[in-house]
Structure 1
């Protein structure tokens, strides 16, 4: 499939997502990690996260993250039982792993291959797609808002992939040669999965499925590279604790290196990657819409001392000029969240460094 090239093309609404935040340019972490001579106490100091010390990690709970079988949701004979599992996962965990999602295995393998090859390119080549001032897209880092804040040990490459008219093809790499088509195919298949999940999430709440589908018409794809850190890996983080400013987030682990941890009952639980499954989590917009019945969950990424970790996050987002508001189950239900413009929440979320669920607190009425 040939991807349509649009230079700077964007729709009036979705294109503004790209300009809703920015990140200051900082040193490339992959290059720093590869240069043992430069990895001194002084250079790594800005990455040291003192809050990591003393955190409780419950590795024994890593096998408990719920597993949802999308094929069973789509089967009339098994949908009721599987929907009950989905409801439990959204209410109790805010995270779940999806199997039998329908995305062809050869497409997943191709996407994984191309992402790995992209991050192996020389820095000069990758910098041709560097983030531009005032734009979320491109190659660089995320949420760098000041010259003195602590930094995460990661590089990323972000693209607005959906809807097609929101794409800026000047950011889409020509290397590796199959990358553009892989992104196009993977993104389109993810939209189908997201639509199916939103439909069944709506049914678990007795809501109109179209109401849910309307809240994830856009997609931002972020490819994450977490280099190994030979020096004090236990004191740096690939991504600081945060919840996602999305409706749903769909994560694909590119390699089998653990790092993702979710906060549950005051402790951190590592998530073991399941081969070719998708990890889905509730985002802030879904928490607001469900009036807190389904909660977005804090998560973070830890770093391995010897191995790199790669992942692909797809953030399913509402229309930028839309409204997000709680949908109540009964007339007597107390409203817990404000009705807000999506633009207002997005700008607030993207103008703060990752700090738990701080932005969502702004949306609460009590």
Structure 2
């Protein structure tokens, strides 16, 4: 594995240009050392507009569930494809069951993520983000010393293609972690490739136009400590859409926290123990000329339980181009044609703020 991913390659140098983030205190360490977490102690994490929109937990059961085995079966493919088309166009989020990733791969990555975040801070800091890089243990989207911070820690890696890897960030603890990351990444790539071909069919476009948008993968492992004092005033992730083509989320410990924005309200997503959660990214919205929607989402914090998850951001090659595919010559073009690297640099150069990056890519209001 390490031999095929030597540092200093062309792929790695391209991805290193994507962005950076300012160093901040580990939230996990803050929780462990601060004693009572008063508002004064965590003032920089208090989000002033957190209650601006209603939360509708009664709608959480309406999040679409797609059965991959039915999509691959001749008898049920048409009906399930209609559900997939509806999920991409109307929700932008859906859970996928019977996804085909082996149970032992899922179990292994879940266990090692939990074990990694329980390591002493000194050990985790051996893999800390370096100036000018998004990889490693630390934070993302911190671009100023006075912005509000998020209640969570991250560990991120560029995984695919192999030449994009910087092995100095790959942990040697837990001892199985590197192998688990490799296996999980490979399985998610295969799953996403299959899903992308099926999405292409719902769009009635050449599957190659979609499949080649999944050449790269950025893996981010997320740890959200509990906030015992004011959980209702902090966020693990601020409202945003993803700057990916597709994002694949695995809930590690089934603690609820993810909410998606729909019709001006927040809908909590109930973790499904046997499912992967998939969402449309900005780049897929651009490619479909707005037919499939990249939806704002956020992460709330539990008062008593930690939450862990792993996000696989599936993206085109850094040097690739993203442009709208039109159904007819008369269809109005809504988005610019852009270089993937240009869009990602824009996306990572700002704090998380709704769909601001996607707004930049629009030629006119949708």
Query: Do both share a fold (TM > 0.5)?
Result: yes
Could you tell me how far 1:106 is from its partner in structure 2? 1.1
Which of 78, 81, 93 is equivalent to 1:80?
A: 78
- Contact preservation (8 Å) 1:13, 1:319: no
**Are 2:16 and 1:18 equivalent residues in the alignment?**
yes
Task: Write the distance in 2 (CA, Å) between the matches of 1:79 and 1:178.
Answer: 38
Counterpart residue number, 1:186: 184
Task: Write the distance in 1 (CA, Å) between the matches of 2:13 and 2:270.
Answer: 35
Task: Write the distance in 1 (CA, Å) between the matches of 2:360 and 2:196.
Answer: 25
Q: Secondary structure at the match of 1:188?
A: helix
**Are 2:122 and 1:124 equivalent residues in the alignment?**
yes
Counterpart residue number, 1:289: 287
Query: For this pair of structures, how many residues does the alignment match?
Result: 364
Which of 343, 351, 363 is equivalent to 1:365?
A: 363
Q: Secondary structure at the match of 2:308?
A: strand
Structure 2: 5+ residue stretches without partners: none
Q: Deviations over 1:315-342 (max 9, x none)?
A: 0011111111000011111100011111
Give the 5 Å matches for 1:210-249. Answer: 210-249=208-247
Q: Secondary structure at the match of 2:86?
A: helix
**Are 2:144 and 1:158 equivalent residues in the alignment?**
no
Could you tell me how far 1:36 is from its partner in structure 2? 3.9
Q: Which stretch shows the higher mean deviation, 160-169 or 29-38? A: 29-38
Counterpart residue number, 1:133: 131
- Contact preservation (8 Å) 2:53, 2:264: no
Give the 5 Å matches for 1:5-154. Answer: 6-10=5-9, 12-13=10-11, 15-37=13-35, 39-154=37-152
Q: Secondary structure at the match of 1:224?
A: strand
Q: Secondary structure at the match of 1:19?
A: coil
- Contact preservation (8 Å) 2:109, 2:180: yes
Q: Secondary structure at the match of 2:259?
A: strand
Task: Write the distance in 1 (CA, Å) between the matches of 2:66 and 2:8.
Answer: 37
Counterpart residue number, 2:297: 299
Could you tell me how far 1:144 is from its partner in structure 2? 0.6
Could you tell me how far 1:3 is from its partner in structure 2? 5.3
Could you tell me how far 1:13 is from its partner in structure 2? 4.3
Q: Calculate the TM-score normalised by the size of structure 1.
A: 0.97
Task: Write the distance in 2 (CA, Å) between the matches of 1:6 and 1:17.
Answer: 14
Q: Deviations over 1:263-301 (max 9, x none)?
A: 000000000000031000000000000000001000000
- Contact preservation (8 Å) 2:236, 2:298: yes
Could you tell me how far 1:56 is from its partner in structure 2? 0.3
1:224 and 1:272, CA in 2 relative to 1: closer, same or farther beyond 3 A?
Answer: same
Which of 162, 165, 176 is equivalent to 2:174?
A: 176
Q: Secondary structure at the match of 1:41?
A: coil
**Are 2:263 and 1:265 equivalent residues in the alignment?**
yes
